[in-house]
C-alpha cells in the first residue's frame, strides 16, 4: 500500500506526470475521471511565483475533485524555494513535489530541474530545508543522474529520504539522454530494493502500454507508475491499465463518438479555464492522439491544429463525429 505522508494511494497507484502545458486542470479532470489515482500540476517556477507572474500563479489552481493532487515547483535558490513553499501552501495541495528532473535547457542552465543533478549536496539541502519549512509532505521527481557516468540514484534517493522526502518518482533516463533512447528501470528497482528505503518509489518513462505498467509492478517491484506522454490526448490510458490489471485483457479502445465527446469537453473546459485564445492553442497537442489511427482524418486534424477559432474546431469535431460514426472502434489501436 503506497502512502505519501498520511495519504493512502492504494496498491500500485497510477500517477499523471506533471507536464508543461499539458497537465492543467481540464486535462487533470479528464484523467481523474478515467482512473488516475494521483495528479500533479504543471511544473511551476519558484522565481515566477515570487514575481507573481500570471502564468505561474494560474498553475496554482487546484480543485477538490482532483485530490490527491501535488503542486510541483522547480528552482535552485533556497530563499526563493522557501518563499514558494509559503505561496503554494495557500492553495492547500495534498503535497508539494520538487522537480529535480526537467532536462530542458532554459531550466537546467539556471541549475534547476535536472541541472541540480550536478550538485547532489544542494539537491539534498534544498529538500531538507523545504521539509522543515512546511507541514505538507514533500516529494521529489528526478532522473537517474546527469549522464551515464554519474548515476548514483540509489545513494541520492536514500539521502533524500533521510532528510524527510516522503516519496520519490524516478524517470529512467539521464539528463544527457533527454527523452531519447530507452528508459532503464533497473536502477529504479535498485532504489526500491535498497533495504534502507521505506518511502514509495514510483517509476517513470516509457509506460506506454498496460503490459509495461504491469512489468513495472511485477518484474521491477515498484510502488506505482507515473505516466506522461502516453496520456496526451488519451486520458483513457488509465482505465485501460486498470482493466488489464484486473482481467489480463485489453479494454476495447474508445469509439469515435467517445473520442469526439472527450475532445469537445476538453476544449470547452480549457476555454473556460484559460480563455479562448490559450484554450484553443494549448488543446492542439492532444488532437493527434484523440484521433490516432482513423483513416482519412488528416485534413480534419490539420484544421484542428491550425485554427485559432474554437467555433471552427467545434465545427470540425461535429464533422468528424458525423463522417466516422460507423467506423468500428476495433480498428483503433
CATH of the domain at 128: 3.20.20.70
Q: What is the pTM of this model?
A: 0.94
Structure-block grid coordinates of residue 316 = 470540425
Same domain, 224 and 260: no
pLDDT, the chain, mean: 93
Distance CA 112, CA 106 (A): 9
> Residue 157: is its pLDDT beyond 80?
yes
Domain that holds residue 202: 2-247
Burial 277-292 (b: 16+ CB within 10 A, else e): ebbbebbbebbebbbe
> Residue 13: is its pLDDT beyond 60?
yes
Same domain, 282 and 216: no
Same domain, 193 and 213: yes
Domain end among 247, 272, 288? 247
Domain end among 228, 247, 266? 247
56: pLDDT confidence band, cut at 50, 70 and 90?
A: confident
Nearest to 74 by CA among 37, 5, 137, 127: 127
Distance CA 299, CA 323 (A): 13
Q: Of residues 107 and 300, which shows the higher confidence score?
A: 300
CB 227 within 8 A of CB 207: yes
Question: How high is the pLDDT of residue 329?
Answer: 52
Q: How many domains does the chain have?
A: 2
Tens digits of residue pLDDT in 87-116 = 999 999 999 999 998 778 888 888 888 888
Among 39, 44, 88, 102, the active-site one is: 102
Same domain, 216 and 304: no
146: pLDDT confidence band, cut at 50, 70 and 90?
A: confident
* CA-to-CA separations, 314 to 162, 184, 300, in angstroms, rounded: 52, 41, 11
Same domain, 190 and 288: no
> Residue 31: is its pLDDT beyond 80?
yes
CB 43 within 8 A of CB 18: yes
Same domain, 117 and 61: yes
Same domain, 205 and 270: no
Same domain, 207 and 275: no
Distance CA 27, CA 250 (A): 23
Distance CA 213, CA 222 (A): 10
Give the CATH number for residue 314: 1.10.1200
Strands (DSSP E) contained in 163-244 are: 168-171, 201-204, 224-227
CA angle 18, 19, 25 (to 5 degrees): 75
> Residue 294: is its pLDDT beyond 60?
yes
10: pLDDT confidence band, cut at 50, 70 and 90?
A: very high
Instruction: Cell 485564445: give the residue.
Output: 277
CB 37 within 8 A of CB 10: yes
Distance CA 302, CA 297 (A): 9
Q: Is 165 a catalytic residue?
A: no
Same domain, 157 and 297: no
Same domain, 260 and 326: yes
Same domain, 68 and 112: yes
Decide: helix, strand or coil at residue 272.
Answer: helix
> Residue 35: is its pLDDT beyond 70?
yes
Distance CA 201, CA 170 (A): 7
What contacts 191, CB < 8 A, 6 or more positions away? 153, 154, 157, 168, 170, 197, 201
CB 269 within 8 A of CB 63: no
Distance CA 263, CA 275 (A): 16
Same domain, 187 and 271: no
Domain end among 197, 219, 247? 247
Q: What region does 259 belong to: left with phi over 0, alpha with psi -120 to 50, or beta?
A: alpha
Amino acid at each position: 500500500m503506497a502512502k505519501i505522508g498520511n495519504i493512502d494511494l492504494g496498491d500500485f497507484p497510477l500517477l499523471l506526470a506533471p507536464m508543461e502545458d499539458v497537465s492543467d486542470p481540464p486535462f487533470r479532470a479528464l484523467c481523474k475521471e478515467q482512473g488516475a489515482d494521483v495528479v500533479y500540476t504543471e511544473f511551476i517556477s519558484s522565481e515566477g511565483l515570487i514575481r507573481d507572474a500570471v502564468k505561474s500563479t494560474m498553475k496554482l489552481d487546484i480543485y477538490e475533485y482532483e485530490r490527491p493532487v501535488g503542486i510541483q515547483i522547480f528552482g535552485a535558490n533556497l530563499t526563493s524555494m522557501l518563499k514558494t513553499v509559503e505561496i503554494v501552501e495557500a492553495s492547500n495541495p495534498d503535497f508539494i513535489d520538487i522537480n529535480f528532473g526537467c532536462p530542458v535547457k532554459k531550466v537546467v542552465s539556471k541549475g534547476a530541474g535536472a541541472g541540480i543533478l550536478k550538485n547532489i549536496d544542494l539537491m539534498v539541502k534544498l529538500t531538507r530545508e523545504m521539509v522543515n519549512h512546511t507541514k505538507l509532505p514533500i516529494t521529489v521527481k528526478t532522473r537517474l543522474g546527469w549522464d551515464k557516468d554519474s548515476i548514483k540514484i540509489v545513494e541520492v534517493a536514500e539521502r533524500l529520504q533521510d532528510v524527510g522526502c516522503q516519496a520519490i518518482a524516478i524517470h529512467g533516463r539521464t539528463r544527457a539522454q533527454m527523452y531519447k533512447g530507452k528508459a532503464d528501470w533497473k536502477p529504479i528497482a535498485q532504489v526500491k530494493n535498497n533495504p534502507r528505503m521505506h518511502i514509495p518509489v514510483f517509476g517513470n518513462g516509457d509506460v506506454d502500454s498496460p503490459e509495461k505498467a504491469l512489468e513495472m509492478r511485477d518484474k521491477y517491484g515498484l510502488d506505482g507508475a507515473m505516466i506522461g506522454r502516453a496520456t496526451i490526448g488519451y486520458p483513457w490510458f488509465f482505465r485501460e491499465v486498470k482493466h488489464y490489471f484486473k482481467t489480463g485483457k485489453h479494454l476495447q479502445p474508445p469509439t469515435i463518438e467517445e473520442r469526439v465527446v472527450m475532445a469537445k469537453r476538453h476544449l470547452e473546459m480549457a476555454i473556460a479555464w484559460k480563455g479562448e485564445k490559450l484554450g484553443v492553442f494549448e488543446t492542439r497537442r492532444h488532437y493527434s492522439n484523440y484521433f490516432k489511427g482513423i483513416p482519412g482524418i488528416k485534413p480534419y486534424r490539420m484544421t484542428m491544429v491550425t485554427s485559432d477559432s474554437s467555433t471552427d474546431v467545434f465545427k470540425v469535431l461535429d464533422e468528424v463525429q458525423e463522417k466516422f460514426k460507423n467506423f468500428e472502434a476495433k480498428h483503433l489501436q
